Amino acid sequence: MVRHRITAAALFAALLIVPFVVAAAPAGLAYDSVTKISMKGDASSQQPGDFNTDFATAAAVQMPEQGAGGGFFAKLNQAMSMGKSMQQMMQSGFAERRYVGGSKERTDNLSTQTATIVDCAARTITRLDLRRKTYKTESMDQAASSGGEAGEPGSRMNDNGTRIAITVANSALGSRQIGGQNTSGYRSDMTITETSSSGDSQTQKGNMVAYYSSYANPSLTCSRGPAIPQGGMAMMGNFAQLMRALSGSGLDRRVTISQSGPPLPLGKVAMFSAVTFTGGQGAGMTFATERGNIRSISDNDPVFSIPTDFTQERS
């Protein structure tokens, strides 16, 4: 496996891809999550911890504010502070809050103190800076027409001819209570094959351990359809692509999933999941996600609105 240097901006971009999947949302749901990244080990060695403790630890790590001003030494100090915070986050994890109700979704990144609100009915994406109390709203259609990432699922601009086939061999791990929820556990050995429109293909091996709750995984009926990251983002891009594919199983014509053994309860919220992508020597990168504080929410909840004391950013 080729080792890549991971930047803070790249890491946040990859992790923020995951929530934008294509599926129906029969009911609103909110939950908190912590995602941890390990450069060694495998998914089967990962186990759920005490969620409240893990979430508080991850949320306590704050990324420095990205200021536009300052001279060389100010920029240097900011970079050093950013590197230190990134190291802490790699150890403690990335804390997020997610809310989905009807055609709306909000995702809060606690370490950067930012939030994104997607409204599929209004076709808008609003980004909140919680520190500065500012916001910026853009149209999905405007972003799509300018070559951005917004667009309807399966639109031509998002379909470059690439197809992904995922083969999964599952075994049951039994039931377990996680975060106050009864769950069913599975181990999955996976082969992910990506084939381009020209016929070139590449294959990635991986394994996953996941414990699924009885809650349906609520997702939006629209999607930004982000492109898969390349280069240093490849491993994180694979993780994001896999999570989107599993969450929206059968709803994206570019992805096919075949399973053997007991079928995974795809479309259900996993209270814990750990995914490892392995390299040629058996080393790999593991992404482990814990979820907690799961609760119902409606589409008219104030969390989907811009706070009255926030100021709109000027272009």
Q: Which residues contact 235 (CB under 8 A, 6 or more apart)?
A: 4, 277, 285
Given a contact cutoff of 8 angstroms between Cβ atoms, the answer to whether 174 and 185 are in contact is yes
Regions of the chain where pLDDT drops below 50: 1-26, 73-74, 76, 147-157, 224-233, 280-282
Given a contact cutoff of 8 angstroms between Cβ atoms, the answer to whether 19 and 108 are in contact is no
Rounded to 5 degrees, φ, ψ at 70 are: 100, 155
3-state helix, strand, coil in the chain (%, to 5): 25, 40, 40
Q: How many structural domains is the chain composed of?
A: 1
- pLDDT of amino acid 196: 85
Counting beta carbons within 10 angstroms of the beta carbon of residue 12, is it exposed (0 to 12), middle (13 to 18) or buried (19 or more)? middle
Domain membership of residue 38 (yes or no) is yes
Domain membership of residue 238 (yes or no) is yes
Quote the DSSP letter at residue 223: B
- pLDDT of amino acid 162: 81
Domain membership of residue 294 (yes or no) is yes
What are the tens digits of pLDDT across the range 106-157?
999 998 899 999 999 999 999 999 999 999 999 988 755 554 443 333 333 3
Rounded to 5 degrees, φ, ψ at 7 are: -95, 160
Identity at 262, one-letter amino acid code? P
E strands in the chain: 29-38, 94-101, 104-109, 114-119, 124-129, 134-139, 163-178, 181-195, 201-216, 255-260, 268-278, 284-296, 311-312
At 228, list the tokens: 């898969």
Domain membership of residue 212 (yes or no) is yes
Domain membership of residue 1 (yes or no) is no
- pLDDT of amino acid 110: 92
* Residue 30 to residue 292: CA distance in whole angstroms: 9
Given a contact cutoff of 8 angstroms between Cβ atoms, the answer to whether 165 and 202 are in contact is no
* Residue 199 to residue 154: CA distance in whole angstroms: 20
- Tally Cβ neighbours within 10 Å of residue 311: 11
CA dihedral 158, 164, 170, 176 (to 10 degrees): -20
Domain membership of residue 314 (yes or no) is no
Domain membership of residue 307 (yes or no) is no
Domain membership of residue 83 (yes or no) is yes
- Predicted TM-score (pTM) of the model is 0.75
- pLDDT of amino acid 20: 41
Domain residue limits at 44: 8-65+73-87+94-299
With residue 228 as reference, give the H or E element that holds it. none
